[in-house]
Amino acid sequence: MKPSQLVLEFEHRSALSGDDFLVAAPNRQATGWVDRWPDWPGPALCVFGPPGCGKSHLAAVFQEKSRAGTPDLDQSVPPGAGLARAWVVDDMSTAIEEHGEEQLLHFFNAVVESGGTMLLIDRLPPARWNVALPDLRSRLIAVSAVEIEPPDDNLLAAVLVKLMNDRQLRVGATVVEYVLPRMERSFAAAGALVEQLDHLALVERREITVPLARRVLGEG
């Protein structure tokens, strides 16, 4: 059985990097919101989820679709807030800490007044951000929020197969089946694992097999 036979139903989306964005159950709702842009119920959408779940990758898809800008929040007045149609703020809770609540409030208001939209990315939903300024807190709590869950086996298998195909690696289905329940549940971990498998196989001039994967995972 070939590795591709392990992959169930998923879709491909192109990101700015040119890498494929795979759509499956953990990210389908968030992807649907991006697809509906600019038909959002409000000026902002928050996509949140754990590290490695694909939030930033989806933000890149949104930027490709909307030509969204990234604000320079170090400026006293965020430049171009009335010019861009859409904006992306990655790691929103950190942005609040680093640039201050007043600055984020000014930016939020400027985008709303200009009729623009914002995609806010973070590990936590807006209700759990550390915001004391009442005006900013009320605006953020009203933001629609959608969660991306950690990738499931179906999505991780698809990512592993894609990464291996990108490197022109021939890997049997048994290898994918072996590593899936033993690897960290993140896209970053999948990339690191494939890189390690490729490197060891190249050094030892051998095919990628379950015994080799066992050693990479520290089980051999």
What local confidence, expressed as pLDDT, does residue 1 receive?
A: 37
The span from the CA of 165 to the CA of 134, in Å, is 50
- Tokens representing residue 8 in the block: 């169930």
CB-CB contact of 173 with 140 (8 Å): no
Burial of 144 (0-12, 13-18, 19+ CB in 10 A): middle
What local confidence, expressed as pLDDT, does residue 14 receive?
A: 39
Which residue ranges in the chain fall short of pLDDT 70?
1-19, 76-84, 220
What local confidence, expressed as pLDDT, does residue 82 receive?
A: 52
Sign, CA dihedral 36-38-42-45, equals: positive
Dihedral of CA atoms 21, 25, 30, 34 in degrees, nearest 10, equals 50
What local confidence, expressed as pLDDT, does residue 220 receive?
A: 60
Instruction: Tell me the C-alpha to C-alpha distance, in Å, between residue 215 and each of 83, 116, 171, 177, 195.
Output: 53, 51, 16, 15, 14
What local confidence, expressed as pLDDT, does residue 15 receive?
A: 40
Dihedral of CA atoms 53, 56, 60, 63 in degrees, nearest 10, equals 120
pLDDT tens-place string over residues 122-164 = 999 999 999 999 999 999 999 999 999 988 998 899 889 888 8
pLDDT tens-place string over residues 77-97 = 555 555 568 999 999 999 999
Structural domains in the chain, sorted by start: 25-147 (3.40.50.300), 151-216 (1.10.8.60)
